[in-house]
């Protein structure tokens, strides 16, 4: 066993000690069971986490969560916290799909009612929600309106009739992060983003009609309005081409600035700049604009989803009781206060394919849930379960208040295309009582459940470590994909 091999330090916990010969400034902590760890060792996940541990200003440890897999520079399912004064900010530590995130809607409909009109519902959702690569949204924005979206986030959508302030009350950052600056965004990002507001996109993004199949925490489920046997809707999408372009632009800026700041890294994909530098500030303000774009995007999709349900079931939104439970961001970097070696410090916490999982009584949690803890949404792949979890105190010591963001891929999209056919995947889903509507054959095949880790195993690790514990399990009955 070499010093760069993970050693077991506790149940579901592994560590690679800091090795200055490899440039590591802190150890790597991996939270996984043995089969999940083996999958991480089969690609570059652990190597990438070791590389992250060499970034100047990183504190405590580099984190790999149980859904961890190889990404761009940072592993997906990775968390790294940098000292806000001395440390770096890295576009690769947030990722291309800035604020790719998930929101959950609940309803008072039961499974039988929805199954009786399932195909009609899925077809209605599919026709009213634009999806696919480069898909255009149904909201047309002028230059100044796009600026308003980038600054106001969810509130722009609500002010334009897409939902109510009850929705913003249960979003991370209330769906509007402060200090976004549209002036730090390139014309190219604007051109890509302006036509796409109000669209689902492609890849692993989806809208899923689900039933609540298991309740594990009665009190938390009651507070969230989640009842066994009722229908929920999970919406998973991000900042579309807008966020992708912001990331591309600032990766180039960071790569060019590294020489200026004398930053030497083992992998150029980790390109970063000092958090307080001019380049760091510009990236943050542009990234925040993309966060707000994504929150506004999910809000508009929420509004159209409610409209579809109203049409198909001939009931009003209030009759259906389609309230937003919560909305979480996955790809994000924010300055937060955390205890490190007993003293409180301001840190830039990068969560890449990771969900914030704060315990009760943190000011950042919406007042509705503050005394309970933060709801955490962990989507599976189509055909497998998704989970509602609750942030717990151990997350603060182990993972800077974070947990997994999904099942995590184990198979590349090209391999999935080689190994599965559209008919196989659709038949398998149909046999489980799941109706899917997708824009393209590849959209179905690339996202086959077999391309992903077992989401239950991922959630069990989080639950056993006490970083975020089980509230309810949701199983899909209808899916729309790009």
End-to-end CA distance of the chain: 44
Query: Is 204 flagged in the annotation as binding?
Result: yes
CA distances from 219 to 27, 167, 274 (A): 37, 22, 44
Q: From the candidates 61, 244, 405, 463, which is the catalytic residue?
A: 405
Phi and psi, residue 238, nearest 5°: -135, -140
Query: Is 236 flagged in the annotation as binding?
Result: yes
| DSSP labels, 168-179 | HTTBGGGG--TT
Query: Is 350 flagged in the annotation as binding?
Result: no
Query: Is 382 flagged in the annotation as binding?
Result: yes
Q: Which residues pair with 58 in a beta bridge?
A: 82
Phi and psi, residue 59, nearest 5°: -120, 150
Query: Is 451 flagged in the annotation as binding?
Result: no
Query: Is 381 flagged in the annotation as binding?
Result: yes
Is the Cβ–Cβ distance between 198 and 300 less than 8 Å?
yes
Q: Which residues pair with 350 in a beta bridge?
A: 80, 333
Query: Is 407 flagged in the annotation as binding?
Result: yes
What does the block give as tokens for 278?
A: 């001019």
Query: Is 243 flagged in the annotation as binding?
Result: no
Q: Is 163 helix (H, G, I), strand (E, B) or coil?
A: coil
**CA dihedral over 246, 251, 253, 258, signed as positive or negative:** positive
Query: Is 205 flagged in the annotation as binding?
Result: yes
Which residues, other chains included, contact 108 with Cβ-Cβ below 8 Å and sequence gap of 6+?
230, 320, 321
Query: Is 97 flagged in the annotation as binding?
Result: yes
Query: Is 330 flagged in the annotation as binding?
Result: yes
Query: Is 4 flagged in the annotation as binding?
Result: no
**Does the annotation count 405 as an active-site position?**
yes
Query: Is 248 flagged in the annotation as binding?
Result: no
**Other Cβ atoms closer than 10 A to 258:** 18
From the annotation, which residues make up the binding site for GMP?
Answer: 204-208, 330-331, 379-382, 386, 405-408, 481
* Residues that constitute the known binding site: 97, 204-208, 236, 330-331, 379-382, 386, 405-408, 481
- Residues classed as catalytic: 405
- Residues annotated within a binding site for Mn(2+): 97, 205, 236, 330
């Amino acid at each position: 066993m070499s010093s760069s091999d993970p050693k077991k330090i506790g149940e579901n916990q592994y560590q690679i000690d800091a090795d200055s010969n490899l440039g590591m400034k802190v150890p790597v902590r991996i939270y996984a069971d043995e089969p999940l760890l083996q999958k991480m060792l089969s690609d570059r996940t652990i190597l990438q986490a070791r590389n992250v541990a060499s970034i100047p200003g990183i504190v405590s440890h580099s984190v790999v969560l149980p859904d961890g897999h190889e990404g761009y520079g940072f592993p997906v399912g990775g968390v790294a916290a940098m000292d806000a004064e001395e440390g770096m900010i890295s576009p690769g530590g947030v990722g291309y799909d800035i604020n790719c995130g998930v929101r959950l809607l609940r309803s008072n409909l039961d499974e039988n009612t929805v199954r009786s009109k399932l195909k009609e519902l899925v077809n209605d959702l599919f026709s009213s929600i634009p999806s696919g690569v480069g898909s255009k949204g149904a909201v047309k924005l002028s230059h100044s309106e796009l600026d308003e979206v980038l600054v106001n986030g969810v509130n722009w959508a609500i002010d334009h009739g897409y939902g109510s302030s009850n929705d913003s009350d249960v979003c991370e950052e209330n769906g509007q992060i402060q200090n976004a600056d549209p002036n730090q965004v390139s014309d190219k990002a604007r051109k890509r983003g302006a036509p796409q507001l109000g669209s689902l996109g492609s890849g692993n993004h989806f809208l899923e009609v689900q039933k609540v199949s298991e309740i594990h925490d009665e009190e938390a489920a009651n507070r969230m309005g989640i009842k066994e046997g009722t229908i929920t809707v999970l919406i998973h999408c991000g900042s579309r081409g807008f966020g992708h372009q912001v990331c591309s632009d600032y990766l180039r800026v960071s790569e060019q600035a590294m020489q200026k700041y004398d930053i030497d890294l083992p992998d150029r994909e980790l390109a970063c700049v000092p958090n307080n530098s001019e380049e760091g500030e510009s990236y943050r303000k542009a990234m925040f604009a993309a966060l707000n774009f994504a929150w506004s995007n999910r809000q508009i999709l929420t509004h159209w989803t409610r409209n579809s349900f109203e049409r198909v079931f001939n009931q009003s939104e209030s009759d259906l009781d389609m309230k937003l439970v919560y909305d979480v961001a996955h790809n994000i970097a924010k300055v937060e206060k955390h205890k490190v070696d007993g003293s409180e410090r301001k840190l830039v916490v990068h969560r890449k394919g990771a969900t914030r999982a704060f315990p009760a009584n943190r000011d950042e949690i919406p007042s509705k849930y503050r005394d309970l803890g933060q709801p955490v949404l962990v989507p599976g792949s189509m055909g497998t379960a998704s989970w509602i979890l609750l942030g717990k105190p151990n997350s603060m010591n182990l993972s800077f208040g974070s947990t997994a963001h999904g099942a995590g891929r184990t198979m590349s999209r090209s391999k999935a295309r080689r190994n599965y056919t559209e008919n196989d995947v659709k038949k398998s889903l149909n046999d489980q009582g799941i109706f899917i509507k997708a824009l393209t054959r590849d959209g179905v095949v690339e996202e086959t459940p077999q391309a992903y880790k077992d989401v239950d195993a991922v959630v069990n690790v989080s639950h056993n470590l006490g970083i975020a514990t089980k509230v309810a399990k949701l199983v899909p009955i209808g899916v729309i994909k790009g």
